[in-house]
Chain A
Amino acid sequence: MRSVIRVAGLGLALLLALAPFYWMAIVSLSAGAEQITLGNPWVLHAAPYFGNYLDLFRSARFGRWMLNTLIVTGGTVAIGVAASLAAGYALASLRPRRAHGIVTVLMATYVIPQTVLALPLLVEMSSLHLADNPVALLLAYPGLVIPFGTWVFWNLFSADGIRELIEQARLEGARGIGYLSDLILPVALPAIAAVAIFGVAIVFSDYLYLFTLITGDQATTVMGGVETTNVDVEDPGFAFAAMLLGAAPAALVCAWFAERYSGAFTRALGAD
């Protein structure tokens, strides 16, 4: 009985979670607005139309948006992971007196809504001549990843077993690149993946920074590009094709690996 409820619940959850994606795919495969304005929008009214996808490859704007998306997402993940790995390691292994307090303050930064930060960030980035430049996003996003990342890595390196391992290696005089690649990175790999996935989720969940810091069509990501065209209600197929092609691969990869690496959260949240 219990397993029946579980299967039914998971089935319903899957249906609700995935239906909007199915709808996006249908719209991206239709020409013009008929798909949305005529009859049942859940079934294709004509043979699949691939023109929207072909248009993407012909569109210079889309290439530009994709490049910006790659730079901003990849850069945020790389900076966020590297900075929080270094900080988490330092706080756990070098054990400064106020490690606990530093982690508390870092986590406390999540209490400041992005709404508060976005407008002053615009003022700050403008004075650095970085408004409407993807670099502004590359500076702003890691600030949202690093506190969480540092907390995850701090927990990892403080864990029983791992702390002793690192202490032993340090006593034996381990230093430098070899120490990093042979000991630290293998130990940290699951947490690195988990923080990376969190970083992608941060970039993809943002609209406020993108909307505030980037105004033009050239400096924006796929997310901003699709929004600035305001999704042509007469023909939304192009926007949906752009979003699916631009974001679906990263989202699918992150989703697939999330289960394997959520162990890093288990460690940080662990009750045992």
Chain B
Amino acid sequence: MTPVARHRLELALLLSPALFFVLGVIAYPLGLAIWLSLTDATIGETGRFVGLTQYRFLFSDPAYRAALLHTAEYSGLALACKLVLGTLLALALLPRFRGRRLIYALLLLPLLFPIVMDSITWYFLFSDVHGGINSILLMLGLVREQYPFLGSGVSAMLSLVAVNVWHGTPLFTMLALAALRSVSRDHLDSARLDGAGSLALFRYVQLPALVPALTLAGLLSVLGTFGDYAIVHLMTAGGPGGETQIISSLAFTEALRGGDLAGGITTALSVVPVYLAGLLLVLRLLVRK
């Protein structure tokens, strides 16, 4: 075998397992999703080609427009909180101190526990029937009777955001801390010698290092790889009155409950172009060299 052929064979063999999975469980289902969104398929029926009918229907559906707004609120608010809290915790964990490793490990637990369990637990904690949070508020005299956190639109949404932040912040902390550690001590010391205060140090030395890490964490968390569907589905199921219905929960309600496979997939697909635009920006920061 010539060296070139051997090189090509080695490359193909090493890349093929990764490509098998990326093509098989990402590219193929994505293609299928795009095709199904152009049909009137239901659960159990393959359907026929209907062009852009599903999309036209989508944009005239008030439930869809409400879900878009809720998704922006839910993801945006949760993202902002996770960015700030994750960065602050990473800065707090940066200097060496006794017990740091244990504290870091304990702070990571919300991310590493099953989201199903987290969501069920928070459902009980937010409950207005002897819920864990209400019992504390009652004890402190902050409320007179149990407050129905999940009972009205605004407070239900804020409760979901709180759970999302509780679960997702450790991812931001972990990646932000990893990035902060990439700033060498020499670099920090020389900036300090040049007379930089801690705010200037953060703004001009640490923040630039944090941007790729926080972008990656944001990408992973906004796109629901880290479970925002579970939180909404298990805690409010989109209620009360659809006021916490986000795009992903609406898509699954349509597809699995209503049997409208094509409609559900179209709902889910419709937001991809928005994410794609955001991603192009993100990739410029993450894949350098």
Contacts and interface: CB of A to CB of B under 8 A. Distances in A.
Given A36-B130, A115-B229, A119-B265, A265 B209 contact: no
A222 to B, nearest CB: 7
Contacts of A117: 25-26, 29-30, 33
Given A117-B33, A231-B120, A269 B178 contact: yes
A120 interface: yes
A106 B216 contact: no
B118 A110 contact: no
Interface stretch (B48-56, B76-84, B152-160, B275-283): B275-283
Q: How large is the interface on B (under 10, 10 to 19, 20 to 34, 35 or more residues)?
A: 35 or more
A109 interface: yes
Given A14-B107, A87-B17, A262 B174 contact: yes
A86 B17 contact: yes
A11 B178 CA distance: 21
Contacts of A254: 108, 112
A258 B105 CA distance: 7
A185 interface: no
Contact of A222 (B20, B24, B114, B286): B114
A30 to B, nearest CB: 13
B18 A86 contact: yes
A20 B122 contact: yes
Interface stretch (B58-66, B189-197, B236-244, B251-259): B251-259
A96 B11 contact: yes
Contacts of B32: 120, 123-124
A272 B11 contact: no
Interface in B30-75: 30, 32-33, 36
B106 A17 contact: yes
Interface string A1-42: 000001001100110111111011001000000001111111
B202 interface: no
Interface in B81-129: 85, 88-89, 92-93, 100-101, 103-122, 124-125, 129
A270 B182 contact: yes
Contact of A113 (B223, B256, B289): B223
B22 A140 contact: no
Contact of B286 (A42, A107, A260): A107
Contacts of A262: 174, 177-178
Interface of B: 7, 10-11, 14-15, 17-22, 24-26, 28-30, 32-33, 36, 85, 88-89, 92-93, 100-101, 103-122, 124-125, 129-132, 135-136, 139, 166-167, 170-171, 174-175, 177-179, 181-184, 187, 208-209, 212-213, 216, 219-220, 223-227, 229-230, 233-234, 247-248, 251-252, 255-256, 261, 264-265, 268-269, 271-272, 275-276, 278-279, 283, 286-287, 289
Interface of A: 6, 9-10, 13-14, 16-21, 23-24, 27, 36-42, 79, 82-84, 86-87, 89-91, 94, 96, 100, 102-104, 106-121, 123-124, 139-140, 142-144, 146-148, 150-151, 158, 197, 200-202, 204-208, 210-212, 222-224, 226-227, 231, 236, 239-240, 243, 247-248, 250-252, 254-256, 258-260, 262-263, 265-267, 269-272
18 contacts: A20-B110, A36-B124, A41-B131, A90-B14, A111-B278, A113-B271, A116-B268, A117-B33, A119-B36, A119-B261, A123-B32, A143-B21, A205-B167, A222-B114, A223-B117, A240-B117, A265-B174, A267-B182
